[in-house]
Amino acid sequence: MGKRESISIGLMGLGVVGSGVAKTLFEKSDAIAQQVGCPLRIKKILVRDLAKKRDFDVFHHLLTTDPEQIITDPEIDIVIEVVGGETEAFEYIKEAISKRKHIVTANKEVISKHSLELFALASKNKVDIRYEASVGGGIPLVAPFQRDLLANNITAIHAIINGTTNYIVTRMTKDGLDFATALRQAQELGYAEANPANDIDGVDAVYKLAILATLAFRTEIHPDDIYYEGISRLTARDFRYAKELGYAIKLLAIAKKEKQAIQVRVHPAFVPEDLLLANVDGVFNAIQVEGDLVGRVIFYGRGAGSSPTASAVVADVIQLAQNIYLESRPRPQLKLYKAKKLIPISEIKTRYYMRVTVADSPGVLAQISKILGDHSISIASVIQKEADEKAGTAEIVIMTHPAQESAFQKALQRTLRLAVVKEIGNFIRVED
Ligand SMILES: NC(=O)c1ccc[n+]([C@@H]2O[C@H](COP(=O)([O-])OP(=O)(O)OC[C@H]3O[C@@H](n4cnc5c(N)ncnc54)[C@H](OP(=O)(O)O)[C@@H]3O)[C@@H](O)[C@H]2O)c1
């Protein structure tokens, strides 16, 4: 049995996640103490503004604006980093590890960019880093990859891992809203930040995919390795046509392994509407993983929010505290293989939806088909949409068979140069 009377925690950040964590540690203190073997005690809480009014203020006397009060306190065993952002959080974590503190973090940016350096530092200092909440909020993902799926060769991940964008595309699908209106609605409901760029441009999903792909393929996937596009060029029309064709449009984070080569990308995609992923709506997340032994498994739930994220953070804290109490050695971090071969976006092969506005005159389709044919792209189906008589234009929607991205992009450029083509309305990759 352990000899500790209590285990001390330094909490960095008391915002959405931090206050959920503080509340959980406070309200469930007896149950947690039973699981650990001794009580957990929050000793200090780092904030930026001491005067700020807070909904959960039980720990007001513990607040500080000085990170050193946590980092240099020899009594603190575990530091929970939920301040967010990259630079300061990274420094705090490194300093805390150097002072031999175990770390729990929800910080996807720091983990996706700096995990190898942090794991090495943690190993040197014989402490542990846990980051379950950094991807998928309350959905268990990091632990399953580190444990339950270890015997598998993971071949693919298809994930909806950004609740803000999934809320927006859901409203565009169900209510026929345009992008700007759906975004405004998401902001009014608190699902999108005042500056939503990181979410709608796909950057948030990139950080999370980097973490998942690193775990899945056991090789370092850095955010810079990931090709990405956001959702702002999607229109109500694309959603209408997708539905007519039997698809939903989702912002997908995709990681695939073919032999030893890996492709990682985040972009809007057509998803057949009978697939489970196509029916993941609103702010919910779903992560579909394929392994050679397990087949397909899907993790579904709330990918953000105070309580779901606290669920993951506090679980990490409990496990670390159990180890400290039992004086167990930190578990080894994930073993990573040597450098990967990444497949650039220009070399991926997929199907495409393309929407083209053309002059409403005979022979137009033949000209576009010829260009596609010249680039070895065959057409799976064509729909001519309603003509705009006043403008003398018509809209053509084409679904292709699988084609190489570089060939498709060249064909798009040539199509755009045709005199009869007014505009390439959009193109979207298809994930069958
Ligand atoms: N929100 C979610 O649902 C969610 C889900 C999963 C993961 N995460 C991750 O969790 C982390 C925290 O997110 P959050 O939504 O809780 O953020 P937040 O609401 O903005 O809270 C940040 C907290 O950190 C404090 N803080 C920020 N910078 C600081 C600094 N330089 N020095 C001292 N204190 C500082 C703030 O102090 P004040 O209170 O005084 O302003 C605040 O208490 C991020 O890494 C985020 O990506 C969030």
Q: Is it the case that residue 18 has pLDDT exceeding 70?
A: yes
pLDDT of amino acid 386: 75
What are 375-382's contacts with CB under 8 Å, separation 24+? Answer: 375/403, 375/407, 375/408, 375/410, 375/411, 375/414, 376/403, 376/404, 376/407, 377/352, 377/401, 377/403, 377/407, 377/408, 377/411, 378/403, 380/351, 381/245
Does ligand 1 come within 6 angstroms of the Cβ of 48?
A: yes
Phi, psi for residue 8 in degrees, rounded to 5: -100, 145
Domains annotated on the chain, with CATH: 7-135+306-326 (3.40.50.720), 142-302 (3.30.360.10), 345-430 (3.30.70.260)
Q: Which amino acid is at 380?
A: A
CA distance 344 to 283: 30
Q: What percent of the chain has pLDDT over 70?
A: 99
pLDDT of amino acid 1: 63
Does ligand 1 come within 6 angstroms of the Cβ of 46?
A: yes
Give how far Cα 364 sits from Cα of 55, 360, 377, 397, 418, Å.
62, 8, 17, 13, 9
How confident is the model over 104-131, as a mean pLDDT?
96
CA distance 427 to 120: 43
pLDDT of amino acid 389: 87
Res. 388 pLDDT band, cuts 50 70 90: confident
CA of residue 378 to ligand 1 center, whole Å: 49
Mean pLDDT for all residues in the chain: 95
Query: Using CA positions, which residue lies closest to atom 21 of ligand 1?
Result: 15
CA distance 373 to 390: 32
Tokens read off for 268: 């809007």
pLDDT per residue over 247-301, tens digit each? 999 999 999 998 889 999 999 999 999 999 999 999 999 999 999 999 999 999 9
Q: Which atom of ligand 1 is nearest to the CA of 16?
A: 16
- Testing ligand 1's pocket by substitution, the residue of 48, 68, 104 carrying the most ligand atoms inside 8 A of its CB is 48
Does ligand 1 come within 6 angstroms of the Cβ of 304?
A: yes
Does ligand 1 come within 6 angstroms of the Cβ of 84?
A: yes
pLDDT of amino acid 2: 67
CA of residue 196 to ligand 1 center, whole Å: 16
pLDDT per residue over 291-348, tens digit each? 999 999 999 999 999 999 999 999 999 999 999 999 998 777 777 876 789 999 999 9
- Identify the CA nearest to 169 among candidates 290, 270, 79: 270
Q: Is it the case that residue 57 has pLDDT exceeding 90?
A: no
Q: Check 208, 250, 257, 340 and give the catalytic one.
A: 208
